[in-house]
């Protein structure tokens, strides 16, 4: 372990037995504040191992590019999606906006096995945009992979840039080891086991089947990264949320607006980000101002401007025996130990 941070030893005591038993083949944990990484520990693999970040892609790629366009006044979040992509058509979705897709209030369902129905990336994208709506837009919030597939297409058209290159360029301003849609040459990637569609997933290929059907580059999944690289991004966002500086591509006001919880009834979602609830993966001790996200492969990121804390946890639980419910309990325990220790530190 490098460094020391309140609560990290207790958090590692939670993770250690799961790694030893193979329920989580590997785990990487970084804890820091707005100025520095305070501690970093890796169990079962190399210190700079690359993980499939799964749905962290939604905040680290799609969310940050939307933030860039918004902050530079190149896009209005209340722009109808239909103005940005010709794929988004239909009277039931004509009024859906970029903000709705970011906040998971567009009406799109959570998931569909598009990989089993579509032939090629173009058809996967088209089917995402034309999927029957599951509810009337803005009446509720349903976390949707399909929404972020559509959103990435809309943003890419607004950017007029190659999506993967645009993502890497922004993230490279925040980290010397930025997450990206590929495994850097010579780097160790942890395995992610089997998928429902492809069987054993080749090392270095995205685990999510819809992302794989899109060629590995998608708005909802597809990024790979190290715990230090994700930690760098988390620290930069925390720094901005606390009013200590700007992101290279976004002012503080824009970052804060993306961290504001939606007004849709019952929603915990902000724009791309989720917000902390006592029952969520953030645990019971992070503040209501905390923002974060989780990924199906066993990843998570939480950023708390009130506690001046970020926590990045990366695992490849899909290659082990830990279920999604198991991972939820593990995440909460890790964040409870760290959050409680940081709160106790703040009391003195």
117: pLDDT strictly greater than 90? no
State the pLDDT confidence band at 82, using cuts at 50, 70 and 90: very high
Average pLDDT on 21-31 reads 98
Closest residue by Cα to residue 334 from 308, 297, 299: 299
Average pLDDT over the chain, rounded to an integer:
96
pLDDT of residue 130: 96
Per-residue CA distances from 327 to 21, 293, 298 (Å) = 14, 13, 7
Give the Cα separation of 122 and 119 in Å (integer): 8
Q: How confident is the model at residue 198 (pLDDT cuts 50, 70, 90)?
A: very high
Domains plus CATH for the chain?
2-59+164-346 (3.40.710.10), 63-161 (no CATH)
54-80: per-residue pLDDT in tens? Answer: 999 999 999 999 999 999 889 999 999
Instruction: Tell me the average pLDDT across 115-140.
Output: 95
Residue 29 has pLDDT above 90, yes or no: yes
- What was the pLDDT predicted at 134? 97
What is the reported pLDDT for 160? 83
Q: Which of these, 176, 230, 183, lies nearest to 203 by C-alpha position? A: 183
Dist. CA 318–CA 39, nearest whole Å? 25
In this predicted structure, the answer to whether residue 196 has a pLDDT above a threshold of 90 is no
* Residue 80 DSSP class: B
What secondary structure does DSSP assign to 82-108, as a single string? GGT-TT---GGGTT-BHHHHHTT-SS-
User: Which contacts (CB < 8 Å, 24+ apart) does range 94-99 have?
Assistant: 95/137, 96/137, 98/66, 98/151, 98/154, 98/155, 99/271
CA distances (Å), origin 339, targets 4, 66, 287: 15, 29, 9
Banded model confidence at residue 338, pLDDT cuts 50, 70, 90? very high
Percent share of the chain, pLDDT over 70:
99
Q: Which residues fall within 8 angstroms of residue 285, CB to CB, at 6 or more apart?
A: 335, 336, 338, 339, 340, 342, 343
The percent of the chain in helix, strand and coil, each rounded to the nearest 5, is 40, 15, 45
- 300-316 pLDDT per residue, tens: 999 999 999 999 999 99
pTM of the model: 0.97
Reported confidence tier of residue 347, pLDDT bands at 50, 70, 90: low
- Whether 345 has a pLDDT exceeding 90, the answer reads no
Question: What's residue 348's pLDDT?
Answer: 57
Query: What pLDDT is recorded for position 292?
Result: 98
Average pLDDT over residues 102-126: 95
What is the percent of the chain with per-residue pLDDT over 90, rounded to a whole number? 94
For residue 4, give the nearest of 35, 41, 34, 53 by alpha carbon: 41
Residues ≥6 apart with Cβ < 8 Å to 313:
27, 28, 29, 299, 300, 301, 331, 334
Task: Give yes or no for a contact between 35 and 3, defined as CB atoms under 8 angstroms apart.
Answer: no
Task: Tell me, rounded to whole angstroms, the distance of Cα 38 from its chain centroid.
Answer: 22
Question: Of the candidates 160, 137, 139, which has an alpha carbon nearest to the alpha carbon of residue 85?
Answer: 160
Q: How many residues does the chain have?
A: 348
């Amino acid at each position: 372990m490098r460094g020391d941070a309140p609560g990290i030893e207790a958090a590692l005591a939670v993770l250690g037995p799961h790694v030893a038993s193979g329920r989580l083949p590997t785990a990487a944990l970084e804890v820091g504040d707005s100025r520095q990484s305070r501690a970093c520990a890796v169990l079962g693999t190399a210190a700079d191992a690359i993980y499939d970040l799964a749905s962290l892609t939604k905040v680290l790629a799609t969310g940050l590019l939307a933030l860039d366009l918004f902050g530079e006044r190149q896009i209005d979040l209340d722009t109808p999606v239909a103005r940005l992509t010709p794929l988004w058509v239909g009277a039931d979705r004509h009024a859906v906006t970029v903000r709705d897709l970011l906040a998971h209030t567009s009406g799109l369902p959570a998931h569909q096995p598009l990989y089993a129905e579509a032939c090629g990336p173009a058809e996967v994208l088209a089917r995402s945009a034309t999927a029957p709506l599951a509810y009337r837009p803005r009446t509720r919030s349903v976390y949707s992979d399909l929404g972020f597939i559509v959103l990435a297409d809309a943003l890419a058209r607004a950017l007029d840039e190659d999506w993967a290159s645009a993502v890497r360029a922004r993230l490279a301003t925040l980290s010397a080891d930025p997450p990206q849609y590929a495994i850097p040459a010579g780097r160790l990637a942890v395995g992610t086991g089997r998928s429902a569609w492809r069987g054993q997933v080749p090392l270095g290929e995205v685990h999510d089947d819809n992302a794989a059907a899109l060629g590995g580059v998608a708005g909802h999944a597809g990024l790979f990264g190290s715990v230090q690289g994700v930690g760098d991004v988390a620290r930069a966002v925390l720094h901005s949320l606390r009013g200590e500086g700007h992101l290279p591509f976004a002012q503080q006001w824009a970052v804060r607006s993306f961290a504001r919880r939606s007004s849709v009834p019952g929603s915990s979602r902000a724009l791309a980000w989720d917000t902390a609830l006592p029952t969520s993966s953030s645990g019971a001790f992070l503040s209501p101002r905390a923002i974060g996200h989780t990924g199906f492969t066993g990843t998570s990121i939480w950023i708390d401007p009130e506690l001046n804390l970020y926590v990045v946890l990366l695992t490849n639980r899909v290659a082990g025996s830990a279920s999604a419910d198991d991972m939820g309990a593990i995440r909460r325990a890790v964040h409870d130990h760290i959050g409680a220790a940081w709160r106790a530190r703040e009391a003195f």
